[in-house]
Amino acid sequence: MQRPVALGAVALAFVLAVAACGPAASPTPSPAPASPTPPASPGASPSPSPAAFDPSAISGSATLGQWESSPAERSALSSALAAFAVKYPNITVTQETVAGDYRAQMITRFGAHTPPDIFYVNAEYAQDWIDEGFLLPLDDYIAKQGFDTSKFFPEYLKIFTGKDGKIYGLPKDGNTIAMAYNTDLVPNPPATLDELVGVAQNLKGTGTLKAPMCLNPGLDRGLAFLYAQGGSLISADGTKEAISSPESRAAVQWYMDLFKNGLGMTAADMGDGWCGEALGKGDAAIVFEGGWLLGYMQSTFPNVRWAFAEMPTGKIGEKVTISYTAAYGIGVDSANKDQAWVVMQYLTGPEGMAVWTGGGIAVPSRSDVPVPAGFEIIVKGAAYAKPGSGFMKNYSGVGSVQDAFQSAFTKEITDKTYSIDSVISATAEAITKGLSQ
């Protein structure tokens, strides 16, 4: 998940991250060993009948399993469920916070055939849960009710679509990475990466800046620059690694040179917890974050003048960024599937999503939901974003693609050797491993 808006304390910086899922921005549960595909539970309810599905005709109860980054997230979800209760008074929903390592706890529940009726699914392990047979395909419900999925931003929905073409989750919200800048120091935000370098060079050594930019040494932000400069992690057909291609090597070198030339530093090297703090404290003039930055800046650094802008365009000559998302899913062994679907279709439909995102802690994953004030650039990026996680096996976790890239990259900038060879080789090995799984 990724770093969570306008609700209060520093802790709120993490809310959106969980709600929208960006890698270094939220407490993403560490991966657990995969469990074998569970057999169907004898007591599980059957798939819906061929007849048309009328949500208003369903009654009963449903349990909603969730992770919880702060009380603010629970409050926002409770508000959305309160609106649901008004429209569907015959269904009682109970919120259940899955404490500890959410992913591991849920895998245990799947193995015991006792998952919640409806639950959060993070993009980064969605394909694993689909392949392991934990999630119920939703196509029958979608077709029988005539639920409109065309308004979801395509890349958000794609993450929860299996290799069989079936949909196993509906995106509850989303986030994209944008450029945030101090408007006193950067009155005119750079529109291209060449302009970005020029602005950074002019800012170098200015005032109390520790560096013009705060940058992450990993793919959680670096992947956006890799794409913009014509690089990629995997081939277009998804069968082999592409990080070792000339285009990708040049893109990684460009990103590393920002550190080498003193144009960017990590938050840790600045003495900050994350790049949002670096922007707020004036240690950096430009950072690259998602919508979770808004609430954090409003609550922690309300006097700092800053703004979002779209990610600068690179060599490919067109806009690109990366996105993070999470969905609602229903388990193959969920006891109350019909009731769970009624909850899901409301929370991910335009009415329910408007209530959920109207609280200011989440960003819509649908194009037909009003954009909360301040998130315009974040939502705009969803139209051209590529997934920031969940698009391949072994992308996150210990020994993963992200881990391999960040470990090697961090070592190079820490040792001040600035060679990309170790970064490319380690990442290529991890990608190849993932593609073979």
> 75-110: per-residue pLDDT in tens?
788 899 999 999 999 999 999 999 899 999 999 999
> 187-199: per-residue pLDDT in tens?
999 999 999 999 9
Would you state the pLDDT for residue 196?
98
Percent of the chain with pLDDT over 70: 87
Of the listed ranges 28-37, 255-264, 376-385, 420-429, the one predicted with least confidence? 28-37
Q: Which residues contact 16 (CB under 8 A, 6 or more apart)?
A: 2, 3, 4, 5, 25, 26, 175, 290, 291, 292, 295, 361, 362, 363
Would you state the pLDDT for residue 70?
63
Would you state the pLDDT for residue 419?
97
Would you state the pLDDT for residue 9?
36
CA 332/CA 330 separation, integer angstroms: 7
CA 87/CA 77 separation, integer angstroms: 16
CA neighbor of 148 nearest in space, from 157, 160, 135, 137:
157
Please give the C-alpha separations between residue 221 and each of 173, 189, 343, in angstroms, as whole numbers.
19, 18, 33
Would you state the pLDDT for residue 69?
66
Using alpha carbons only, give the angle 278, 279, 284 rounded to the nearest 5 degrees. 75
CA 176/CA 419 separation, integer angstroms: 29
> 135-183: per-residue pLDDT in tens?
999 999 999 999 999 999 999 999 999 999 999 999 999 999 999 999 9
Tokens coding 383: 């139209």
Contact 285, 185 (CB under 8 A): yes
Would you state the pLDDT for residue 359?
75
Tokens coding 112: 């015991």
Instruction: Report whether pLDDT(25) > 50.
Output: no
- Residues comprising the chain, all counted: 437
- Can you tell me the mean pLDDT for 19-39? 34
Instruction: Report whether pLDDT(115) > 80.
Output: yes
Instruction: Report whether pLDDT(46) > 50.
Output: no
Alpha helices in 34-180, H assignment, sequence order: 71-87, 102-111, 123-131, 139-145, 154-158
* Fold exhibited by the domain 10-174+324-387: D-Maltodextrin-Binding Protein; domain 2 (3.40.190)
The domain limits of the chain are 10-174+324-387, 176-322+388-435
* Fold exhibited by the domain 176-322+388-435: D-Maltodextrin-Binding Protein; domain 2 (3.40.190)
Place of tokens 């793919």: 219
Q: What is the DSSP string of 164-185?
A: TS-B--EEEEEEE-EEEEETTT
Longest dimension (CA), the chain: 69
Percent of the chain with pLDDT over 90: 81
- Can you tell me the mean pLDDT for 243-272? 98
> How much is the pTM?
0.84
Would you state the pLDDT for residue 408?
98
Of the listed ranges 22-36, 49-63, 314-328, the one predicted with least confidence? 22-36
- Gyration radius from the chain CA atoms: 22
**Could you check whether 10-174+324-387 and 176-322+388-435 share the same CATH topology?**
yes
Sign of CA dihedral 362, 363, 368, 370: positive
Instruction: Report whether pLDDT(27) > 50.
Output: no
What's the whole-number average pLDDT of the chain? 89
Instruction: Report whether pLDDT(23) > 90.
Output: no
pLDDT band of 219, cuts 50, 70, 90:
very high
- Can you tell me the mean pLDDT for 26-35? 32
Instruction: Report whether pLDDT(38) > 80.
Output: no
CA 421/CA 206 separation, integer angstroms: 33
Would you state the pLDDT for residue 51?
62
Instruction: Report whether pLDDT(319) > 90.
Output: yes
Strands 118-122, 213-214: pairing kind: unpaired
Contact 253, 259 (CB under 8 A): no
Which helix (DSSP H) or strand (DSSP E) does residue 222 occupy?
helix 219-228
pLDDT band of 360, cuts 50, 70, 90:
confident
